[in-house]
Structure formats: C-alpha cells, structure tokens
Amino acid sequence: MSKNILVTGGAGYIGSNMARLLKRQGHNVVIYDNLGRGNADAAMDIPLIEGDISDRNTLAPALEKHNFDAVMHFAAFAYVGESVTAPDIYYRNNVCGTLNLIDTMREFNVNRLVFSSTCATYGEPKSLPITEATEQNPINPYGQSKLMVEQILKDYAQAYDFRSIALRYFNAAGSAEDGSLGERHDPETHLLPLILFEALRIQAGGDPKDTNLKVFGSDFDTRDGTCIRDYIHVNDLCSAHTAALERMIAVPDKGAEQFNLGVNKGYTVLEVIDACRKITGVDIQYNLVDRREGDPPELVADASQAMQKLKWTPSYPDIEQSLQHAWDWFSKHPPE
C-alpha cells in the first residue's frame, strides 16, 4: 500500500536513489535536504523541501503538512577522515541534528525511522565477518556519531515506542542501473570515484605516471597490506530500505533493530584498483602513501540477519557490476 515517506538527505548519493525507488514503488515521497552536500537536480521530479535537519522551523511545517508514515534518514556527514579533523560538525549534524529530527517527528506522531548507520560503528572488529553482535567500538568520530544515534534510537524505542531500523552500511558503491543517478560528492574522497576519475584523466590524454590516486597505507595486516572493504551496490542498499520499511509496518513491536548491509566479500584497495583497470581498460597507476587516520584494516559484513529478517537478497554480489555502473555514469558525467 502506498505510504507517505520523508527522505532526509534525498538529494545526496544514496538518498536520491532511495527517493526514486520509493516513488517507482508507488509511495508519496518528499525530500528534505539542505543542499549543503547534495545536488538539487538529483531530486529529479520529487518534491524537495530545502532545509536543515537541525532547523525545527522548516522541519515542523513539513511534518505537519504531509502526514508521513515513516522517515528514511540519510542526511549526515559521512567522511571518516574529515570526522577526525572536524568532529564538531559530525556530532552537531549527525547526533544533534538527528535528535532534533526524531523529536520533531514524535511531536507530529511520526514514529517510524529507517536510519543510515555504518560499519564504522564497529571500529577494528576482533573477528570477521562482522555480525550485528560484534562489539561496537568506533575509532573515528563519524562511527561514534552514528553509534550514539543507534543508542538514542534504542532508548526511544523503550521509552516512547519509537520504531526504528538502523542499517549498518558497509561501503556503498555503483550507480543506478539505468544511468540516471550517480555518485557526486564535493569534495570527493571515496576510493571508487577517485580511481575512476584517474581513469578518465588518462583517457583524456593524461600521463599515467602523473597519477592523483593515493593508496592510504600499505602496511596493514591484510593479504596485500592495503585495507579490505565490503562494497555493496547502491541499488541493493535501497532495496534493503524498502524491506526495512515493510518490516517496521508488519512487525511494529520490535523497537529498535539493527542490520548489517554488505555482501560478505572483501576487496583490498589494490584489488579494487585492479578490477577498475579491467573494467575501464585503462592503465591506472597509484602512489602508496601513509595510512589515513581512522581507517580500520578490514571491514567485511555478515549480512545474514538482513537476508533472513528483511527477506533481502543483494542483486549485485560482485564488485564488478558496481564498478561497471559507476564507470558508465562517470564516463557520461565527468567531474567538473
């Protein structure tokens, strides 16, 4: 049945894909985004309210007007490195902003939230793959800010019957299958786009030896010394959100739940670069540099809980498909 859904951060990378999927599924969708890091055109034809989650004066009328059944909350800062050097904005936006959002939701009797959490809440896990029961011990303010919100959601479930599902994303990758939406961050700090930008530079006549690509750390205790991550296609992340929405409605009394979203496969940074060479046909080079602060060596998901309880299956279990979609997108939309 059609629902009224507010998507915060719906002009961002994952949020815009989500808003579009919900619309296609027949839901009434409104995007709420301050456009600080999002792009208005990513909202496409979905109504966009320009506002900050910390701004009650914009949020309250939006919630009052639309009678939302649930909120999907993507609006957040999400750069590990930046969170180490500027923790203030991470705690203010990700924690205080979310608190303002959920308190304003409660005021207007909107009591269901799908929350974008992260594998960064686990820090350096003692065992792999990571299950939801793995101890959460974040090693950077980004992960810490998301863990704080998870705790708030647990307490709100207990005290106020506030229903939520926190989805702990591993590394989001890829672009919409139909090429309509892609990844655009400013500044871009994520590995996959930066590798593909390097391929575009060389394709445009640049010398491979003048590479801009840096590999952060080659002395980790991993098979080739570089960090291992679990890359999940953005469309698979989105399909898990609709499954979470359905679960919150079908099983209202579960309080605050948390699920890992990954594909249970880890790639080192060098393996990702190699896969990009194959997809692009370009001789991508890199420089090995120091570790980036806040990066754990290995994060790989056990997502079996999401598969069982959300009845969710990733359609793109291999990184190659994500890379191909991302390459198709960046080839048509090169960075300015």
Residue of the chain from 185, 254, 292, 333 that contacts ligand UDP (CB under 6 A)? 292
What DSSP assignment string belongs to 236-290?
HHHHHHHHHHHHHHHSGGG-EEEEEE--S--EEHHHHHHHHHHHH------EEEP
Smallest distance from the beta carbon of 288 to ligand UDP, in angstroms? 9
Residue of the chain from 214, 254, 309, 333 that contacts ligand UDP (CB under 6 A)? 214
Regarding 171 and contact with ligand UDP (CB under 6 A), the answer is yes
* Residue 134 contacts residue 296 (beta carbons within 8 Å): no
Smallest distance from the beta carbon of 297 to ligand UDP, in angstroms? 8
Regarding 191 and contact with ligand UDP (CB under 6 A), the answer is yes
Which lies closer to ligand UDP via its Cβ, residue 52 or residue 298?
298
Concerning whether 286 is annotated as a catalytic residue, the answer is no
Residue among 64, 49, 40, 69 nearest 8 (CA): 49
Regarding 295 and contact with ligand UDP (CB under 6 A), the answer is yes
Burial of 31 (0-12, 13-18, 19+ CB in 10 A): buried
Helix orientation angle between 234-250 and 13-24, rounded to the nearest 10 degrees? 60
d(CA 297, CA 173): 19
For residue 286, the one-letter residue type is: Y
Regarding 185 and contact with ligand UDP (CB under 6 A), the answer is no
d(CA 274, CA 280): 10
Applying CB under 6 A, the span of 40-48, 107-115, 185-193, 241-249 interacting with ligand UDP comes to 185-193
Regarding 199 and contact with ligand UDP (CB under 6 A), the answer is no
Which is the catalytic residue, given 122, 142, 169, 286?
A: 142
Residue nearest to ligand UDP (CB): 227
Query: Interface residues for ligand UDP in 72-91 (CB under 6 A)?
Result: 80
Question: Which residues bind to ligand UDP, rule: CB under 6 A?
Answer: 80, 171, 189-191, 194, 214-216, 227, 229, 269, 292, 295
The residues annotated with a catalytic role in the active site are 142
